[in-house]
Amino acid sequence: MSDGQDGRANGRPPDGTRITPEHDDLLLDVMLGKLATYLRMCGYDAVYALDEGIEADDAVQRRAAADARRLLTRDRELAASTPGSILLTARDVTDQLRELREAGVDLTLAARPARCGACNGSVDSLPPDCDRPEYAPDEGPVWRCRDCGQCFWKGSHWDDVAATLADL
Ligand SMILES: [Zn+2]
């Protein structure tokens, strides 16, 4: 990843950089856990620092560098000293999503879920003839997280996220 002086100066990627789930893995700093769920539903491999027990600035930076993840943070100094990071200033998750879109982050709800919103694990489609979990709807595809076992489908939560992203 190349970073121009502009990116370092203001904590944002250089203008014109498109950030997509295919090319960018993300690391979210503390206080951005809610945002992580949205980004995972858009298909991003989005690690939330607190889920991993990472809190100190230098530990966050090391993890971002080790995994080649782009850091999202509300910490101005941390953003300024981490190449390629994105500084978020808003507290509200919808406003944060707006900031990300302005920073060139592709926010399209994945047609087929790739990541578990709860834990960031990879998900598999359940075969149509499998025993569906009791709480799942009778119709439509269901996915299950390989890591935490949570099942999900395109229900009302999915529609809510779609509506939020469409209204940004
Ligand atoms: Zn999971």
Closest Cα to residue 70, out of 39, 93, 92? 39
- Non-local CB neighbours of 65 within 8 Å, separated by 6+ positions: none
Cα 84 to middle of ligand 1, angstroms? 27
The model carries a pTM of: 0.87
- For residue 11, being part of any structural domain is answered with yes
How many angstroms is it from 123 CA to the middle of ligand 1?
A: 8
Domain contains 139: no
- Output the CA 151–ligand 1 centroid distance in Å: 8
Examine residue 144 and state whether it is found in any structural domain, yes or no.
no
CATH number at residue 76: 3.40.50
Domain annotation covers residue 43: yes
Q: How far is the CA of 146 from the centre of ligand 1 (A)?
A: 7
User: Which residue carries 């919808």 as its tokens?
Assistant: 94
Please state, in angstroms and rounded to a whole number, the distance separating the CA atoms of residues 51 and 62.
16
Would you place residue 13 in the very low, low, confident or very high pLDDT band (cuts 50, 70, 90)?
Answer: low
Residue-wise pLDDT for 82-101, tens only, equals 999 999 999 999 999 999 99
Ligand 1 mean position, distance from CA 168 (Å): 27
Indicate whether 156 belongs to any domain: no
CA distance linking residue 122 with residue 43, whole number of Å = 10
Residue 108 maps to a domain: no
Residue 81 lies in a domain: yes
Does 86 map to a domain?
Answer: yes
CA-CA distance, 33 to 143, in Å (whole number)? 22
pLDDT classification of 43: cutoffs 50, 70, 90: very high
Q: For the chain, what is the domain count? A: 1
DSSP characters over 14-70: PTT--B-TTT-EEEEPTT-HHHHHHHHHTT--EEEGGGGT--SHHHHHHHHHHHTEE
Tens of pLDDT, residue by residue over 56-80, are: 999 999 999 999 999 999 999 999 9
> Residue 155: which residues within 8 A CB-CB, separation 6 or more?
137
Domain extent, residue 56, equals 6-102
Ligand 1 centroid from CA 77, angstroms: 32
